[in-house]
């Protein structure tokens, strides 16, 4: 069963307050040059269908409960990748009044991809590392 789970990781993208530089790199992954469909990755519209949640951007106060609700809507086993300095730790906006901070303050994060924005290859490298860690028996979500 693990073979199937590794070969078709469906992805959902949620931007919880980013400057959309990382978002256009995530969307660029689908385009011909990087084409993540090679790995069987599809961008799914609904949290119900997704296995991996790609979060970009610092978590603003209004987006925090949305992020949590989407994370809870996703069926097990689910994983979270934080893309970009803002998602990893709040980046440049750390400490502003409407900003809670990195994504790991709200939901458990499995892979951190630093960079502002990380190159699409770096994001693919992050996903490949996540898949390797799943292969190595990493449980979803639990610390």
Task: Give, as ranges, the residues between 50 and 109 that touch other proteins (CB under 8 A).
Answer: 51, 57-58, 60-66, 68, 70, 75-77, 85, 88-100, 102, 104
- To the nearest whole angstrom, how small is the minimum distance from the Cβ of residue 75 to other proteins? 4
Q: Give the total of residues touching other proteins (CB under 8 A).
A: 89
Residue 128 interacts with other proteins (CB under 8 A): yes or no: yes
Q: Which two tokens stand for residue 52?
A: 């991996």
- To the nearest whole angstrom, how small is the minimum distance from the Cβ of residue 142 to other proteins? 14
**Which residues are bridge partners to 101 per DSSP?**
59
Specify the 3-state DSSP secondary structure of 60: strand
- To the nearest whole angstrom, how small is the minimum distance from the Cβ of residue 91 to other proteins? 6
For residue 48, the tally of other CB atoms under 10 A from its CB is 10
Residue 135 interacts with other proteins (CB under 8 A): yes or no: no
For residue 105, the tally of other CB atoms under 10 A from its CB is 14
- To the nearest whole angstrom, how small is the minimum distance from the Cβ of residue 18 to other proteins? 7
Among positions 10-29, residues that touch other proteins (CB under 8 A) are 14-25, 27-28
What would the DSSP string read from start to end of 80-100? EEEEHHHHHH-GGGTT-TTEE
Distances 59 to 22, 34, 51, 133 between C-alpha atoms, Å: 14, 27, 21, 26
Among positions 26-45, residues that touch other proteins (CB under 8 A) are 27-28, 30-35, 37-40, 43-45
């Amino acid at each position: 069963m693990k073979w199937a789970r590794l070969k078709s990781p469906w992805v959902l993208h949620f931007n919880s307050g980013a400057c959309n530089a990382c978002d256009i790199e995530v969307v660029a992954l689908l385009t011909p040059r990087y084409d993540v469909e090679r790995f069987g990755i599809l961008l799914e519209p609904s949290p119900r269908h997704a296995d991996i949640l790609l979060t970009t951007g610092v978590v603003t106060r209004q987006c925090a409960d949305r992020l949590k609700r989407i994370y809870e809507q996703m069926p097990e086993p689910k994983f979270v990748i934080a893309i970009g300095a803002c998602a990893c730790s709040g980046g440049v906006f750390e400490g502003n009044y409407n900003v809670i901070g990195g994504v790991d303050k709200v939901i458990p994060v499995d892979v951190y991809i630093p960079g502002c924005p990380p190159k699409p290859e770096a994001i693919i490298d992050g996903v490949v590392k996540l898949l390797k860690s799943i292969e190595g028996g990493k449980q979803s979500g639990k610390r």
